[in-house]
């Protein structure tokens, strides 16, 4: 998709019913969504699903450069950040989309949206959302929504992390919040050794495996 097409999608994505609260700072969030598109004047498509937002994590550019999945251009940008601000803390969000259902209805867009709003009013879920988009690019509209939700939540999440000192950096350049996440991972592995590779990967991303290797291998000796 070229830049002009993407800009067009962004302009035609309408957040009809925005979530009533930000993403949780210290836990996972589940956002139920409905995307409404129009096929004809009185025929619409309604897709619904949920987005699972994992608990936001505190990272630094030095950590980010060790994550996989970046294009060469994106990695170049991250490398620049690492050189200029290697230990500046930031917040990392990870999402999973679970599509549930698609329904074609013989009603106009306004009626479909009114019906959905009435149903959601009864459910009282503050993270339910209704999005209006174009049929060919409905999933891009969903991504536009996720971007804006993340941006709207960032200030609250950062403020709450800062209030608890989780953005404080130690002498190794590791934020306190990241240290807590590692402690949680050690606890998970102590209960299920199958999670050990995930812990090793996380330690390597922070460049900390040497610091923690004795403790890591002790998990296996205790069995």
- Note the pLDDT tens digit of each residue in 18-55: 999 999 999 999 999 999 999 987 899 999 999 999 99
* 35/66 Cα distance (integer angstroms): 35
Domain span including residue 118:
3-56+93-163
Q: Are residues 42 and 137 in the same domain?
A: yes
Residue 11 domain-assigned? Answer: yes
- Note the pLDDT tens digit of each residue in 133-189: 999 889 989 998 998 999 999 999 999 999 999 999 999 999 999 999 999 999 999
Q: Are residues 98 and 198 in the same domain?
A: no
- Per the structure, how many domains does the chain have? 2
Q: Are residues 19 and 106 in the same domain?
A: yes
Burial of 9 (0-12, 13-18, 19+ CB in 10 A): buried
Q: Are residues 35 and 113 in the same domain?
A: yes
Q: Are residues 129 and 180 in the same domain?
A: no
* 17/48 Cα distance (integer angstroms): 14
């Amino acid at each position: 998709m070229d830049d002009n097409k993407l800009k067009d999608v962004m302009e035609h994505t309408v957040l009809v019913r925005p979530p009533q609260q930000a993403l949780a700072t210290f836990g996972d969030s589940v956002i139920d969504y409905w995307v409404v598109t129009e096929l004809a004047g009185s025929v619409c498509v309604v897709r619904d699903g949920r987005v699972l937002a994992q608990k936001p994590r505190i990272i630094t550019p030095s950590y980010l450069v060790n994550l996989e999945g970046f294009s060469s251009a994106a990695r170049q940008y991250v490398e620049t950040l690492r050189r200029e601000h290697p230990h500046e803390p930031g917040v990392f969000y990870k999402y999973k989309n679970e599509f549930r259902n698609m329904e074609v209805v013989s009603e106009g867009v306004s009626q479909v949206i009114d019906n959905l709003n009435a149903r959601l009013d009864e459910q009282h879920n503050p993270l339910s959302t209704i999005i209006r988009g174009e049929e060919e690019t409905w999933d891009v509209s969903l991504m536009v929504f996720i971007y804006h939700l993340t941006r709207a939540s960032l200030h609250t999440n950062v403020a709450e992390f800062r209030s608890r000192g989780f953005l404080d950096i130690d002498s190794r350049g590791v934020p306190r919040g990241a240290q807590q996440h590692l402690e949680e991972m050690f606890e998970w592995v102590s209960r299920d050794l199958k999670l050990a590779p995930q812990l090793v990967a996380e330690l390597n991303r922070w460049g900390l495996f040497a610091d923690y290797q004795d403790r890591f291998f002790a998990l296996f000796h205790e069995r």
